[in-house]
Amino acid sequence: DQGAYASVRSVRGGIVIRPDDFNPERVILDDALLARDAMPAVDVRDTFADPLIGPLHYSFGNFKLLVISPPVAVDGGLTRESTEAQEKNELAVASFNVENLDPTDPPEQYAALAQQIVDNLAAPDIITVEEIQDNDGSANTDVVDADVTWQRLVDAIVAAGGPRYDWRDIDPADDQDGGQPGGNIRVGFLFRSDVGGLKFVDRPGGDATTPVAVEEIGRSGKAQLSISPGRIDPDDPSFEDSRKPLAGEFKFRGETVFVVANHWNSKGGDDPLFGRFQPPVQHSRDQRNGQAAVVAGFVEDLLGVQQDAQLVVAGDLNDFEFSPPVQQLVDAGLTDLPRTLPRPERYTFIFDGNSQVLDHILLSPSLTETAYEYDIVHTNAEFADQASDHEPQVVRLPLKKAKK
């Protein structure tokens, strides 16, 4: 019946979580009784030609149907989305988790990510990038620099027909930021070098352990960062073995724009939905609550110095739009853009069949005074063939005072 009584269905055929509904009507198919590789790869919206038969099994916290014969998939025709290009007077800010990208990945991986940035995201002006690994990937050495990873990505973007990007990041201390052991995962910024009037404000002093501060420029009521790029409170205990937020200061046609890139701790260690302990406890959320408090404090510091500061907080927050950590950022004065979408459109990730928001873009009040355009661009999570397991997202901002 095409899930006729399931809710909420996503706009493209999936099923979306709600605060009190994690969709127990989902059925997970397991290939344990089939020959190797007999289970077809499927996308969201695909169907099966015949009824699926097999015993119901329980393992790893989930009920599963052990199908006894290979399902025959029927293509549902789902295609990857593309967003609109920004206008000349708009600043397009995107966020993209590139899933542990490192130089050992094949050229095809870089090409796929680059194609999505160029064609599906329409080459945004600024991108907060999550899950960039160091130059030797998961090899557990003392290497922490990621310049080779970044360079291969920006070269792949040019090869895909896109503009030349530059990048900024701060190398983490070795093996201190979680993620794949040895990978020294980090967040950073890509920004277009061909856009007139767009530049990164470099202010020296940033390193793995030095915290960025908000400063008032004289007595002007205008804010600047003490260092740019700079990490937000990297020694706070909530960021132990986790990625530290990175603040950057940009200029766009005379206007100052602050951007914070985030990748909060994962949901590893949470109780399974159908596990022994009910209701399931999200143990990992305690750490994200602490991380949210730190970022919210930075937001309050910035808006306290400059009430109309133009601030974008973006990245993989690893929590839902209705979660307490995200609410802390909203309480600090930001607008969470996934919340502004109709519920069937709210998802950047699919886990065990549940479409959900993990990636966010949040705006300060001054950036919501004019009509912006926000888009979660569905290019990965719904497809068996993925460049990443996350969807990218983008907001197009018509800055009021930017010089044309």
273-298 confidence digits (pLDDT tens): 999 999 999 999 999 999 999 999 99
d(CA 25, CA 14): 12
Residue-wise pLDDT for 365-404, tens only, equals 999 999 999 999 999 999 999 999 999 999 999 987 666 5
Token pair in block for residue 350: 């699919």
Q: Which residues pair with 97 in a beta bridge?
A: 130
Domain boundary among 27, 54, 79: 79
d(CA 155, CA 38): 38
- CB-based contacts of 301: which residues, under 8 Å, 6+ apart? 213, 214
239 with 169, same domain? Answer: yes
* Inter-CA distances, 360 with 32, 113, 246, 294, 394, Å: 36, 19, 15, 17, 10
Residue 138 lies in a domain: yes
Domain boundary among 79, 99, 126: 79
166 with 117, same domain? Answer: yes
pTM: 0.97
What SS3 state is found at 288? Answer: helix
pLDDT per position in the chain (404 positions), as tens?
777 778 899 999 999 999 999 999 999 999 999 999 999 999 999 999 999 999 999 999 999 999 999 999 999 999 999 999 999 999 999 999 999 999 999 999 999 999 999 999 999 999 999 999 999 999 999 999 999 999 999 999 999 999 999 999 999 999 999 999 999 999 999 999 999 999 999 999 999 999 999 999 999 999 999 999 999 999 999 999 999 999 999 999 999 999 999 999 999 999 999 999 999 999 999 999 999 999 999 999 999 999 999 999 999 999 999 999 999 999 999 999 999 999 999 999 999 999 999 999 999 999 999 999 999 999 999 999 999 999 999 999 998 766 65
70 with 147, same domain? Answer: no
Residue 84 lies in a domain: no
5 with 138, same domain? Answer: no
Residue 403 lies in a domain: no
d(CA 108, CA 194): 25
Residue 404 lies in a domain: no
d(CA 400, CA 318): 32
Residue 85 lies in a domain: no
Domain boundary among 47, 79, 111: 79
14 with 109, same domain? Answer: no
User: How many Cβ atoms from other residues are within 10 Å of residue 375's Cβ?
Assistant: 23
d(CA 367, CA 397): 7
Token pair in block for residue 357: 């928001």
226 with 98, same domain? Answer: yes
Q: Into how many domains does the chain fold?
A: 2
* CB of 271 closer than 8 Å to CB of 277: yes
Q: Which residues pair with 231 in a beta bridge?
A: 211, 246
d(CA 239, CA 294): 9
CA angle 20, 266, 10 (to 5 degrees): 45
Token pair in block for residue 213: 């501060």
Kindly give the interhelix angle for 324-331 and 285-305, rounded to the nearest 10 degrees.
10
* CB of 367 closer than 8 Å to CB of 310: yes
- CB-based contacts of 65: which residues, under 8 Å, 6+ apart? 27, 28, 29, 30, 52, 54, 55, 56, 57
242 with 318, same domain? Answer: yes
* CATH code, domain with 323: 3.60.10.10
Q: Give the residue numbers spanning the domain of 202.
A: 90-398
269 with 351, same domain? Answer: yes
58 with 112, same domain? Answer: no
150 with 283, same domain? Answer: yes
d(CA 388, CA 404): 35
* CB of 261 closer than 8 Å to CB of 248: yes
Comparing CA positions, the residue from 137, 271, 109, 245 lying closest to residue 189 is 245
173 with 72, same domain? Answer: no
Residue 48 lies in a domain: yes
Instruction: Using the Cα atoms of residue 357, residue 359, residue 363 and residue 368 in order, give the sign of their dihedral.
Output: negative
Q: Look up residue 116 and give its DSSP letter.
A: I
195 with 314, same domain? Answer: yes
Residue 263 lies in a domain: yes
* Inter-CA distances, 307 with 180, 190, 303, Å: 39, 27, 4
Residue 186 lies in a domain: yes
Pairing label, strands 198-200, 126-132? unpaired
Token pair in block for residue 40: 């077809």
Q: Look up residue 328 and give its DSSP letter.
A: H
